[in-house]
């Protein structure tokens, strides 16, 4: 019994400490930036490159402004991949590119910064420590523009993905 309590306490602590990207009811901007075709394709998580069942993204266009990102995460419990689909559009602020991602095209937006560097990109989650709530995209855009160059505006664990050229 004591072991179960310790395990449940440990699990609760991990869930509390696990960072998630900031979620917003509005996007940083409306979908009005043309797709960057360099983002399209299959991308494998760099730390999983040698893994038998790596985490990866497949990115495909929907129209000239929106694209689907499907995240594939291997589930050892049932030996299959779990798919999570995001309808996404880009917001450019100065030289920075942000992703406005809605799971299954509905609900809140998950916000990320992406740094595309040839055949790899680095994904930065906007910190979940942002307490502000925004009613309009213009308010959120101004907030992101003001703080986007500060390191603490992003969660610590950025993830690098490598283009799968196979």
Q: DSSP labels for 82-131?
A: EEEEEEEEEEEETTEEEEEEEETT-SSEEEEEEEEETTEEEEEEBPTT--
pLDDT computed for residue 98 by the predictor: 97
| Contact (CB, 8 A) for 81 and 74 | yes
pLDDT computed for residue 133 by the predictor: 94
pLDDT band at residue 4, thresholds of 50, 70 and 90? very low
Q: Which helix (H) or strand (E) holds 39?
A: none
Residues 6 or more apart whose Cβ sits within 8 Å of residue 160: 45, 46, 47, 120, 121, 122, 123
What are the CA-CA distances from residue 31 to residues 28, 77, 139, 145 (Å)?
9, 38, 16, 17
* pTM of the model as a whole: 0.84
Q: What is the pLDDT of residues 11-39, one digit of tens each?
A: 333 333 345 789 999 999 999 999 888 99
pLDDT computed for residue 21 by the predictor: 80
pLDDT computed for residue 108 by the predictor: 96
Q: Please report, for the chain, the start and end positions of each structural domain, with discontinuous segments joined by +.
A: 21-163
pLDDT computed for residue 83 by the predictor: 97
Q: What is the pLDDT of residues 44-98, one digit of tens each?
A: 999 999 999 999 999 999 999 999 999 999 999 999 999 999 999 999 999 999 9
pLDDT band at residue 5, thresholds of 50, 70 and 90? very low
Whether the pLDDT of residue 8 is over 80: the answer is: no
Find, among 71, 93, 96, the residue nearest to 82 by Cα.
71
State whether CATH 2.60.40 applies to domain 21-163.
Answer: no
pLDDT computed for residue 109 by the predictor: 97
């Amino acid at each position: 019994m004591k072991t179960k309590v310790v395990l449940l306490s440990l699990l609760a602590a991990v869930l509390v400490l696990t960072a998630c990207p900031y979620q917003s009811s509005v996007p940083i901007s409306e979908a009005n930036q043309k797709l960057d075709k360099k983002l399209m394709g299959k991308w494998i998580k760099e730390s999983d490159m040698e893994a038998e069942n790596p985490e990866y993204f497949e990115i495909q266009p929907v129209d000239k402004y929106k694209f689907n990102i499907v995240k594939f995460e291997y589930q050892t419990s049932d030996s299959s991949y779990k798919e999570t689909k995001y309808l996404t559009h880009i917001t450019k602020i100065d030289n920075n590119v942000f992703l406005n991602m809605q799971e299954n095209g509905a609900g809140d937006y998950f916000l990320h910064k992406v740094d595309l560097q040839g055949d790899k990109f680095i994904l930065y989650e906007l910190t979940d420590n942002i307490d502000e709530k925004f009613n309009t995209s213009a308010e959120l855009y101004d907030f992101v523009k003001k703080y986007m160059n500060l390191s603490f505006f992003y969660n610590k664990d950025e993830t690098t993905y490598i283009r799968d050229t196979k």
